[in-house]
Structure 1
Amino acid sequence: MPLPKLPTRPAAILDLNDTEPDLLPPLTQTAKGTPAPAIKTGSRAPALEARDVLQNEGTIDQSSSFKLPSATTPAQSPVIAPSKAQTTKKSPAPRTPARRTTKADSGVRKLFVLDTNVLLHDPSSLFRFEEHDVFLPMMTLEELDHQKKGMSEVARNARQVSRSLDTLVSEHRQLDEGLPLSGLGHKDAVGRLFFQTTAMASTLPPDLPMGKADNQILGVVRALQDKHPTREVVLVSKDINMRLKARALSMSAEDYFNDQVLEDSDLLYTGMLELPENFWNKHGKGVESWQQGGTTFYRINGPLCNQFMVNQFVYFEGSMPLYAQVREVNGKTAVLATLRDFTHGKNNVWGVTARNREQNFAMNLLMNPECDFVSLLGQAGTGKTLMTLAAGLAQVLETKRYSEIIMTRVTVPVGEDIGFLPGTEEEKMQPWMGALEDNLEVLNMGDADGGGNEWGRTATLDLIRSKIKIKSLNFMRGRTFLNKYLIIDEAQNLTPKQMKTLITRAGPGTKVICLGNIAQIDTPYLTEGSSGLTFVVDRFKGWPHAGSVTLQRGERSRLADYAGEVL
Structure 2
Amino acid sequence: MPLPKLPTRPAAILDVADLKLEPKDTTAPREPSSSSDPHPLIEAIETVALKPIAMEKPSKSITLDLSSLSEGAEKLSTKPKGSVRKKPAGSTTTVKPASKSSGHAVRKLFVLDTNVLLHDPSSLFRFEEHDVFLPMMTLEELDHQKKGMSEVARNARQVSRSLDTLVGEHRDLELGLPLDGLGHKDATGRLFFQTTAMASTLPPDLPMGKADNQILGVVRALHDKFTDREVVLVSKDINMRLKARTLSLSAEDYFNDQVLEDSDLLYSGMLALPDNFWNKHGKGVESWQQGGTTYYRISGPLCHQFMVNQFVYFEGPMPLYAQVREVSGKTAVLATLRDFTHGKNNVWGVTARNREQNFAMNLLMDPECDFVSLLGQAGTGKTLLTLAAGLAQVLETKRYSEIIITRVTVPVGEDIGFLPGTEEEKMQPWMGALEDNLEVLTMGETEGGSSIGSGQTHDWGRTGTLDLIRSRIKVKSLNFMRGRTFLNKYLIIDEAQNLTPKQMKTLITRAGPGTKVICLGNIAQIDTPYLTEGSSGLTFVVDRFKGWPHAGHVTLQRGERSRLADYAGEVL
- The bucket for the TM-score relative to the shorter chain is 0.7 to 0.9
Measure the CA separation in 1 of the matches of 2:255 and 2:434: 35
- Aligned CA RMSD, in angstroms, stands at 1.7
Q: Does 1:266 pair with 2:276? A: no
Give the structure 1 partner of residue 496 of structure 2: 491
1:150 to 145, 148, 151: 148
Structure 2 letter corresponding to 1:398: E
Other structure's SS at 1:547 match = strand
Measure the CA separation in 2 of the matches of 1:257 and 1:69: 25
| TM-score relative to the length of structure 2 | 0.81
- Given the superposition, is the C-alpha separation of residues 233 and 66 from structure 1 closer, same or farther in structure 2, using an over 3 Å criterion? closer
Which ranges of structure 2 fall in alignment gaps of 5 or more residues? Answer: 1-59, 63-93
Structural mapping, 1:183-222, within 5 Å: 183-222=181-220
Measure the CA separation in 1 of the matches of 2:571 and 2:214: 46
Q: Does 1:230 pair with 2:228? A: yes
Give the structure 2 partner of residue 509 of structure 1: 514
1:69 to 80, 102, 116: 102
Structural mapping, 1:41-190, within 5 Å: 69-71=102-104, 108-190=106-188
Structure 1 letter corresponding to 2:132: V
446-455 vs 321-330, which moves further: 446-455
Measure the CA separation in 2 of the matches of 1:480 and 1:212: 45
Measure the CA separation in 2 of the matches of 1:249 and 1:304: 52
Give the structure 2 partner of residue 477 of structure 1: 482
Measure the CA separation in 2 of the matches of 1:542 and 1:224: 46
Measure the CA separation in 2 of the matches of 1:353 and 1:124: 46
Give the structure 2 partner of residue 242 of structure 1: 240
Give the structure 1 partner of residue 535 of structure 2: 530
Other structure's SS at 1:319 match = coil
- Given the superposition, is the C-alpha separation of residues 209 and 541 from structure 1 closer, same or farther in structure 2, using an over 3 Å criterion? same
Measure the CA separation in 2 of the matches of 1:191 and 1:498: 29
127-136 vs 196-205, which moves further: 196-205
Measure the CA separation in 2 of the matches of 1:191 and 1:204: 29
2:346 to 334, 343, 348: 348
Give the structure 2 partner of residue 368 of structure 1: 366
Give the structure 2 partner of residue 358 of structure 1: 356
Deviations 1:316-341 (A, max 9, x none): 00100000000000111100000000
Measure the CA separation in 2 of the matches of 1:296 and 1:371: 19
Structure 2 letter corresponding to 1:222: R
Runs of 4+ aligned residues of structure 1 deviating over 4 Å after TM superposition are 65-68
Q: Does 1:327 pair with 2:325? A: yes
Give the structure 2 partner of residue 451 of structure 1: 452
Q: Does 1:500 pair with 2:505? A: yes
Other structure's SS at 1:70 match = helix
- Given the superposition, is the C-alpha separation of residues 252 and 492 from structure 1 closer, same or farther in structure 2, using an over 3 Å criterion? same
Q: Does 1:462 pair with 2:471? A: no
Deviations 1:239-268 (A, max 9, x none): 111111111111101111111110000000
Q: Percent same amino acid among aligned pairs?
A: 90
Deviations 1:373-425 (A, max 9, x none): 00000001110000000000000000000000000100111111111111111
Other structure's SS at 2:102 match = coil
- Given the superposition, is the C-alpha separation of residues 10 and 355 from structure 1 closer, same or farther in structure 2, using an over 3 Å criterion? farther
556-565 vs 201-210, which moves further: 201-210
Measure the CA separation in 2 of the matches of 1:10 and 1:190: 35
Structure 2 letter corresponding to 1:176: E
1:437 to 435, 438, 441: 435
Q: Tell me which structure has the larger Cα radius of gyration.
A: 2
2:415 to 389, 414, 417: 417
2:402 to 404, 414, 419: 404
Other structure's SS at 2:251 match = strand
1:558 to 556, 560, 563: 563
Structure 2 letter corresponding to 1:223: A
Deviations 1:497-541 (A, max 9, x none): 111111010000000000001111111111111111101000000
Deviations 1:286-325 (A, max 9, x none): 1111110000001100110000010000000010000000
| TM-score relative to the length of structure 1 | 0.82
Give the structure 2 partner of residue 82 of structure 1: none
Give the structure 2 partner of residue 48 of structure 1: none
Structure 2 letter corresponding to 1:539: R
Other structure's SS at 1:113 match = strand
CA deviation after TM superposition for structure 1 residue 67, in Å: 8.2
Measure the CA separation in 1 of the matches of 2:256 and 2:523: 19
CA deviation after TM superposition for structure 1 residue 206, in Å: 2.2
- Given the superposition, is the C-alpha separation of residues 385 and 110 from structure 1 closer, same or farther in structure 2, using an over 3 Å criterion? same
Measure the CA separation in 2 of the matches of 1:208 and 1:349: 62
Deviations 1:86-131 (A, max 9, x none): xxxxxxxxxxxxxxxxxxxxx5100000001100000000000111
Give the structure 2 partner of residue 31 of structure 1: none
Structure 1 letter corresponding to 2:202: L
Deviations 1:25-63 (A, max 9, x none): xxxxxxxxxxx9x99xxxxxxxxxxxxxxxxxxxxxxxx
CA deviation after TM superposition for structure 1 residue 69, in Å: 2.7
Other structure's SS at 2:431 match = helix
Measure the CA separation in 1 of the matches of 2:194 and 2:549: 50
